[in-house]
Amino acid sequence: MAFMEIHIKSNMLDMNTTVAVIYPEHAIKNKKVKVLYLLHGYTGHYMDWMRQTSIERYANMYDMCVVMPSVHNSYYTNNIYHVNYFDYVALELPKIIESMFYVSKNKEDRFVAGLSMGGYGALKIGLTYPNRYSKIASFSGAINVDRIYELNKHLPKSKQFKSAFGKLPIKGTKHDVYHLLDKAYDKDMVPRMFIACGTEDFLYPDHVDFLNYLNEKNISYTHTESPGGHEWRLWDMYIKDALKWMDD
């Protein structure tokens, strides 16, 4: 696998930014490569998955391109300052990658996944554009933004929520994963989902609530959980399993 750090100009962000890309060096000739957009968590950046997991080795098993952007603590939203992180990751970045690399433009070959804040971002992106992303993987996803805000509203980080979403709570809005799921469900366009979390994770209650909602809707999904907290040890296992699931 080839590993690259690419410096690009984003019109959606109105700034230069860096993206990490893993790309198979020996892809089958004339066969476009499947692509995964792999998202970091809160306080993270584009190198987290490379530093903390064996993503390069795992992706090599499937000749898959993996794209890892940086969005700071944006919660993958177009924030109140008109820095459009959501549009950048969901729409602009795929166009840039598809123009630079021999990757498939088909929905069936385009995936999105992430951890914690990135798990929320993956669900938000995949459910907003179910016609563009065929599979979503969320690891310890920050699914219930309103509950997480309540836990942090007296801390300095609460300002990050306000700059990202403007107005809270977000229930019933375009930022609400449940609302987006209902819209995709109504159109019979829910992408396949891989949902994973540690049983001691502080986000585990939200994980269970989301699975219960999927069950109520009779939406099929792949699920795994393991003893442990909010930690890279688990996410390294989950991404390995998710890549295999994506390749099926």
Percent of the chain at pLDDT above 90?
95
Dihedral, CA of residue 106, residue 218, residue 126 and residue 245, to nearest 10 = -60
Q: In the structure encoding, which two tokens stand for residue 138, read together?
A: 């969320």
Q: Between 145-152 and 158-165, two packed helices, what is the crossing angle to 10 degrees?
A: 140
- Tell me the C-alpha distance between 174 and 11, whole Å: 22
Instruction: Quickly count: other Cβ atoms within 10 Å of residue 103's Cβ.
Output: 23
pLDDT tens across 163-178, in order? 999 999 999 999 999 9
Instruction: Give the mean model confidence (pLDDT) for residues 167-191.
Output: 97
31 phi, psi to nearest 5 deg: -115, 115
Residue 28: its pLDDT value, please? 66
Residue 27 clears pLDDT 80, i.e. is over it = no
Instruction: Give the mean model confidence (pLDDT) for residues 217-245.
Output: 98
Point out which residues pair with 195 in neighbouring strands. Answer: 138, 223
Residue 29 clears pLDDT 90, i.e. is over it = no
pLDDT tier, 160 (very low <50, low <70, confident <90, very high otherwise): very high
The answer to whether residues 66 and 59 touch, using CB atoms and an 8 Å cutoff, is: yes
- Tell me the C-alpha distance between 85 and 40, whole Å: 13
pLDDT tier, 23 (very low <50, low <70, confident <90, very high otherwise): very high
- Average pLDDT of the chain to the nearest whole number: 96
The amino acid at residue 74 is: S
pLDDT tens across 128-137, in order? 999 999 999 9
Residue 198 clears pLDDT 70, i.e. is over it = yes
pLDDT tens across 138-148, in order? 999 999 999 99
Point out which residues pair with 18 in neighbouring strands. Answer: 7
Q: In the structure encoding, which two tokens stand for residue 108, read together?
A: 């069936």
Residue 31: its pLDDT value, please? 78
Residue 26 clears pLDDT 90, i.e. is over it = no
Point out which residues pair with 37 in neighbouring strands. Answer: 67, 112
Q: In terms of pTM, does the model score above 0.95? A: yes
